[in-house]
């Protein structure tokens, strides 16, 4: 080993020994209230830094300093110009008679804690300590998955977040067939007892602290049995086209069945066609005949239940019968007026 190598090794051993002696002196003692300039241990104000930022650690020196070092807990980061830390984020900024400054880039939670600048002078050792506080933006780390439930079920949603300071949680229903809006919950668990179809939709969880906010969403699907709208009777002339429409509200979407009296109707037979589109079913008659007139029933079915409604398909004779009475009364009144008109003119 060269003379220089021996000297470097000896210097490191000397620094380490000096630091060990320094660490025997209680560190982190507050500055004396009398402002005693002879105090050997000084505590600086906490340094608050956000995750991912760069923090600078500065320590005053002096003309009579023989050795100096920055330590994190029991690890030496820098001893003078010699870097002892293997962390590439730690580097030397300034080392002169006035100050000894190092920096830590891309700060993380593992960097939080106490740091000590140990200075060996010709007369006595002294230390300066500072505590780094790392603030972390919120992150939602555990959110309930999208769920499908039956109407009337009890539902519990969970939203857990990390961050420093600890984030607050809020819930919002942002899309729904009911009334979207804040749900008045500031807990990581949201309880929805006996859920209704109006509570189905997209739920938003927001985690907030003084650094930032994180937002995530989930969907709740509520299944319920079909509800069929009231049927509308339809009048159609013989030989013309007629359509009966049946609409059902259901989740999952309903399957439709059509009946005339007690006989189920199959599409494509007897000149009739059934077309289902989402919540709507249409029964079409392409060429209405006498045999088509009568009562029809639409039944909507899903796995939770069924519902039905009735229709009447009637012809033009029924239309005439419904209005013929009124026409007869009107004609009879006009005839009486004509008969008695000459007698009225005599007066």
> From first to last of its 347 residues, what are the pLDDT tens digits of the chain?
443 343 334 344 444 444 443 433 333 323 222 233 445 778 888 999 999 999 999 998 877 788 899 999 879 999 999 999 999 999 999 999 889 999 999 999 999 999 999 998 877 788 999 999 999 999 999 999 999 999 999 999 999 999 999 999 999 999 876 666 667 677 899 999 999 999 999 999 999 999 999 999 999 999 999 999 999 999 999 999 999 999 999 999 999 999 998 899 998 888 899 999 999 999 999 999 999 999 999 999 999 999 999 999 999 765 444 443 333 333 333 333 443 444 444 54
Give the tokens for residue 145: 């998955």
For residues 98 and 9, what is the distance between their CA atoms, to the nearest angstrom?
26
Please return the burial class of 176, using the count of CB atoms within 10 Å of its CB with bins 0-12, 13-18 and 19+: middle
Chain CA centroid to CA 24, Å: 52
Q: What is the pTM of this model?
A: 0.68
Cα–Cα nearest to 319, from 201, 240, 202 = 240
Which residues 6+ apart lie within 8 Å of 182 measured at CB?
170, 171, 172
For residues 298 and 245, what is the distance between their CA atoms, to the nearest angstrom?
9
Give the tokens for residue 342: 């000459």
For residues 320 and 315, what is the distance between their CA atoms, to the nearest angstrom?
9
Cα–Cα nearest to 163, from 142, 138, 188, 143 = 138
């Amino acid at each position: 080993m060269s003379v220089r190598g021996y000297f470097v090794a000896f210097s490191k051993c000397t620094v380490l020994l000096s630091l060990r002696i320094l660490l025997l002196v209680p560190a982190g003692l507050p500055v004396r209230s009398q402002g005693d300039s002879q105090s050997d241990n000084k505590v600086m104000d906490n340094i608050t830094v956000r995750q991912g930022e760069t923090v600078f650690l500065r320590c005053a020196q002096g003309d009579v300093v023989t050795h100096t070092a920055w330590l994190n807990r029991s690890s030496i980061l820098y001893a003078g110009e010699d870097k002892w830390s293997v962390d590439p984020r730690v580097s030397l900024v300034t080392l002169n008679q006035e100050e000894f400054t190092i920096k830590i880039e891309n700060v993380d939670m593992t960097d939080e804690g106490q740091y000590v600048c140990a200075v060996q002078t010709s007369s006595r050792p002294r230390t300066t300590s500072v505590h780094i506080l790392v603030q972390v933006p919120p992150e939602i780390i555990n959110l309930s998955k999208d769920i499908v439930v039956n109407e009337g079920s009890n539902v519990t949603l969970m939203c857990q977040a990390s961050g420093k300071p600890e984030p607050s949680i809020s819930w919002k229903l942002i899309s729904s067939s009911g009334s979207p809006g804040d749900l008045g919950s500031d807990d990581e668990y949201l309880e929805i007892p006996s859920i209704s179809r109006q509570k189905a939709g997209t739920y938003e969880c927001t985690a907030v602290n003084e650094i930032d906010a994180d937002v995530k969403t989930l969907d709740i699907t509520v299944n319920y049995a079909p509800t069929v709208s009231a049927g509308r009777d339809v009048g159609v002339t013989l030989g013309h086209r007629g359509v009966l429409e049946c609409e059902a509200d259901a989740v999952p979407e309903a399957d439709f069945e059509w009946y005339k009296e007690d006989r189920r109707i199959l599409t494509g037979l007897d000149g009739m066609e059934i077309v289902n589109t989402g919540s709507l079913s249409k029964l079409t008659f392409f060429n209405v005949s006498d045999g088509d007139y009568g009562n029809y029933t639409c039944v909507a079915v899903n796995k939770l239940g069924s519902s039905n409604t009735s229709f009447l398909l009637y012809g033009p004779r029924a239309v005439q019968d419904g209005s013929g009475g009124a026409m007869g009364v009107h004609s009879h009144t006009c005839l009486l007026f004509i008969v008695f008109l000459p007698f009225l003119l005599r007066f």
